[in-house]
Amino acid sequence: MTRVLVVGSGLAGLLAAVRATDAGHRVTLVTKAALSDSNTRYAQGGIAAALFPDDSVDAHILDTLRAGAGLCDPAAVRVLCEEGPARVRDLIRFGVDFDRDESGITRGLEAAHSRSRVLHAGGDATGFAIEAALVATVQERANRAHALGGDQITIHEHTMLVDLTVDDGRVTGAVLLGPDDTRHTVTADTVILATGGAGALYRHTTNPAIATGDGVAAAWRAGAAIADVEFYQFHPTALAVPGTPLISEAVRGEGAVLLSSTGERFMTAIHPDAELAPRDIVARSIAAQMKAQGGAPVLLDATGLGRDLLESRFPTITAACRANGLDWAVEPIPVAPAAHYWMGGVATDGWGRTSLPGLYAVGEAARTGAHGANRLASNSLLEAAVFADRAVRSLSEAEQPAPYFATETDADSDAGITGFPGAGLDDPSDAADAADAAVTASAPGLVDRGTLQNLLWEAAGVHRSGADLTGAAATLAGWHPVDRALATAAQLETGNLLDLGRLIVAAALAREESRGAHHRADFPDTRLELARPRFTVRPDTRTLVSASSIASEGIAC
């Protein structure tokens, strides 16, 4: 029986936990907040799959490849689209009640899709419905096991990943920070990271505050390969009010249009698909229009859809508008881009395996290659389900060698991302000494999260340039986090964001072109010779935390 540690409780983590439990593995599921708190919960747009007679897997593949701007892994895309319908049917069996009409399951059209294939639940509450159904399923499995006197699945809420433990090049578990602020080490045969993205890197994001990229940062420190981190997708339409609630792409799919501050449509002159152009194009166009009108938000006009449709199809958005004194049935609402989804992350093969034996990554924390440089709308929930299922299936097979990724070895690939306090230390107690030495050498300052978010938004946001990125890299190199051995949960998160901010800026500097969600003002064209991913690993791959050096206590796996 394999001991499996699953970190994260969005769709990917919950599905992995259910599948692993049902397969007879012993599962420990840990999550940083409550079990139901995740990015999945906030997903509005839906889940895309070729389920209908007038659609096909090949059509879904072509749409995904087209959106990915030449950087998709075709094999990963085929897996996503071929296995997607079965995973959606699994979700239905787990209790997800997708919206229906007289013809069966309702489907919608979203940007860059050639067919109406996007399923929704509760109108614009798809993620909430999926999360609720899977939470109930996981809890049912846990309650049933405990009633029979077993501990086949154990759940720990409010428990944060601090770092992975590695022995002889293999991930053997993790150091966790529990709700009592006590650190515990849990050992496992397999660790599945499902920790989501890192929207908290940016000043404006549709993600919840917990999206701090903990799993990707921990995997990087442990020596796993990462890829495509320069590609962060900015959703074109977040409500331009505090909290930046998401305004689903499906609203434009139903016919809403974008207007300048003076009430004129502008997307028709930019792309033949106008408001339904790929997300990167719409986001950049809105940002450019905002700059032209002095920074004021653009307007989303959904008044033509009628109050009945808006309130029934988009109840979550309607409530958000009302909470901010807006009635979108009678007036256009202000919108602006916001950080939404990370195409990059821990590099994996088609089964979720990373370059480190014993470590898997699924969901937004993983870079499978299915999204390329720009994710197709509503493929994120699908990817989480498909590859979480595949990761667990692979556990029942004979162990395969960890996949090899051809990593960058030039000096420039590591600019600004190495040499920060605590990197590559065998003994966590050495971190304070390393931090002191760094302070003496370069007089860096303690990183402040708000300042970091502003820097990333300005230099590595929707629009980028070599000058801004170079300046950001220099600034990031002058900051240091609180010693991880002593840090609180919030300080650990900020340290993770600093690690990831450095990685994103370095990768964005190295990609001297514009492609998908990555746009450089000084390199505005796409370069054919750069149509490849960049895999990077930390040059100093000494183990950050060794399981043998820490007593295991508190949490069993």
469-489 pLDDT per residue, tens = 999 999 999 999 999 999 999
Catalytic residue numbers, as ranges: 279
Which domains are present in the chain?
1-231+343-557 (3.50.50.60), 236-337 (3.90.700.10)
Q: How far apart are CA 167 and CA 222, in angstroms?
A: 10
What is the torsional sign of CA 76, 82, 83, 88? positive
The pLDDT assigned to 541 comes to 53
The pLDDT assigned to 431 comes to 35
- Comparing 546 with 158, which gets the higher pLDDT? 158
With bands split at pLDDT 50, 70 and 90, how would you rate the model's confidence at 540?
Answer: confident
Residue 188: phi and psi, rounded to 5, are -155, 155
The SS3 assignment for 139 reads helix
Q: How far apart are CA 309 and CA 375, in angstroms?
A: 27
| DSSP 3-state percent helix, strand, coil across the chain (nearest 5) | 40, 20, 45
Burial class (CB in 10 A: 0-12, 13-18, 19+), 182: exposed
The pLDDT assigned to 548 comes to 52
Contact 552, 183 (CB under 8 A): no
The pLDDT assigned to 421 comes to 33
- Comparing 52 with 436, which gets the higher pLDDT? 52
Q: How far apart are CA 520 and CA 247, in angstroms?
A: 26
Does 101 have pLDDT greater than 70?
yes
Enumerate the H helices of 396-465 as residue ranges.
431-442, 449-459
Least confident segment among 9-23, 240-254, 373-387 = 240-254
The pLDDT assigned to 413 comes to 40
Does 90 have pLDDT greater than 60?
yes
Which of 353, 396, 373 lies closest to 228, judged by CA? 373
State the pairing for strand pair 226-227/345-347: antiparallel
Average pLDDT over residues 519-547: 85
- Comparing 420 with 291, which gets the higher pLDDT? 291
Average pLDDT over residues 324-346: 97
Q: How far apart are CA 355 and CA 139, in angstroms?
A: 32
Average pLDDT over residues 532-542: 84
Residue 193 pairs with which residues in a beta bridge?
7, 361
- Comparing 33 with 430, which gets the higher pLDDT? 33
The phi-psi region of residue 495 (left if phi > 0; otherwise alpha if psi is between -120 and 50; otherwise beta) is alpha
Tokens standing for 20?
A: 């692993």
